[in-house]
Chains A and B, each alone.
Chain A
């Protein structure tokens, strides 16, 4: 991949607690090309939201980035001061949060929140900013935008509010948007609309997206590539069709087995036994081994690294075996 827009190298996020340090994100590396949609999928607590927060530099203390680098256009941004980073947030990297009901300040008009964001990052007069705010509302598909512009957030429905949130994220034409569970809090019928909207906007603006979700269906529909996270690490990463059709990590296989398909038979749905370990008790070796149907002795003691061919790789000892078999044949 030539010149990635965003590159994360060996990122590690820690939370000191009285019972020792929790590692929420453990040695994660990933990259996003301009205009690309990278899906990040995993159960809650897998570290996917934390990775997003680390990229925009908004990890809540006492959490901190303990190790690794984050590069935007080849420039390190993880060690910037709060104020330097502030200029990147919103302008270079936008963000969309899970709950549109709580993401907007209830006491300010939508126009005020939009204009405030626009004038922070762009050299526009109040009037120009207002015109741009109106354009943005129209672009995210809010009907009667002129009239709605000066409404308060509570006057919008959930789906419409998420559109406003997207408009806010797009204010300064960022090249990357971190969308953290953008559809989880919405009705299923609205979810599809929002996903379609996001896809369209990214295509039109050439904006890259890091789409964080636990919903494999959303990823399948939207993302170019997908990274599957488990217990703070990346289990598997690759082009979305490859990962879905030829999952290499047993955990990903399990995730795929849990998605119902239209026309598929209900009794073929499988589930992964047990649940993801808490961050206080991550097992030795491969973190997935207690739940893995294909576990063998090495998994108990040695943690596998990402192994794979070019674009598609997984952190599983099975990969080594496959690679070895490939060599011997």
Chain B
């Protein structure tokens, strides 16, 4: 068990190093950092001095080591566009994105898994066909089109829900939450639905196909042949065996929610990291871009680790292989 965790940690570290290298390369070689920081009228001497002060004349490995050291301490440099430290900018924006992504993920899982189970168990019922058709539309409708349609319907025509921003937020220490006010909840409904819709459809279709697959296996037939109740067969034997792939994909999808939040945040002018990142791309604000990349990669790696550990809990075959027994 411990060996397994250590190996996974090591792999995660390796991925982070590679991503940090990409971030560093972008920072160091895409455009000239000095030219970005100073005005047109800065003299050549001042530029050279700044270059020296920033350590840009040091050997590249040393620069990379310093870059990593700074990154670990949360010092990501200063935004070219806004002129504020990137860590402050991100700290401002992180709560908004995390609240949005987690709520969307919750919505997608809580609705998607039961629908997938239903359509897998009863593939011939008309309700299953309805769910499947809707899910296909959910997958095919671009996120921003869903968002725009929602705004048009509930925001503009009916006037029920706010169409942009987070509403009122409450500062609870480090975290600036919108989930403690009515206007905060009203504001998050449409963005979370928009963001979660695609994942919901994906999770539902995945659970369905896994369910269909498992129901065809010998051990399910054997469970039926032993006279177990439908409930025990469906929810005990079948559902548990669909969990491994479902956990994988769902875990990865939670990661991609953060990426897709870029679109949703643009549609609803949601003041999150995605919006910040997008503006950074438009204005080639390299420190913000590379920091966002590293942060997202970090979240991905953490989620992957959690997924791996969950596997371990669900599937006994892994446990034994690692501890060297069995067979």
The interface of chain A, by Cβ under 8 A from chain B, is 56, 58, 82, 86-91, 94-95, 97-99, 102-109, 116-117, 120-121, 152, 154-155, 165, 168-169, 171-172
Contact = CB atoms under 8 A, between A and B. Distances in A.
A91 B320 CA distance: 34
Contacts of A91: 227
B224 A117 contact: no
A154 B317 contact: yes
A58 B316 contact: no
A116 B228 contact: yes
B210 to A, nearest CB: 13
A168 B316 CA distance: 20
A52 to B, nearest CB: 10
Contact of A99 (B218, B230, B326): B218
B232 to A, nearest CB: 6
B326 A154 contact: yes
16 contacts: A56-B225, A86-B229, A87-B227, A91-B227, A95-B222, A95-B226, A103-B218, A105-B241, A106-B219, A106-B316, A120-B228, A120-B229, A154-B317, A155-B320, A155-B325, A168-B226
Contacts, number: 89
Contact of A102 (B217, B224, B229, B325): B217
Interface of B: 217-219, 221-230, 232, 236-237, 240-241, 314-317, 320, 325-327
Contact of B219 (A90, A95, A98, A102): A102
A107 B314 contact: yes
Nearest to B228: A120
A233 B226 CA distance: 28
Given A99-B218, A154-B326, A155-B325, A117 B316 contact: no
Contacts of B217: 102
B326 A58 contact: no
A152 B226 contact: no
Contacts of B230: 82, 86
Nearest to A95: B225
Given A99-B218, A102-B218, A106-B316, A155 B326 contact: yes
Contacts of A104: 219, 222
Given A94-B226, A120-B228, 10 more contacts: A58-B221, A82-B230, A86-B229, A86-B230, A97-B225, A105-B241, A106-B219, A107-B240, A107-B315, A116-B228
A188 B224 CA distance: 29
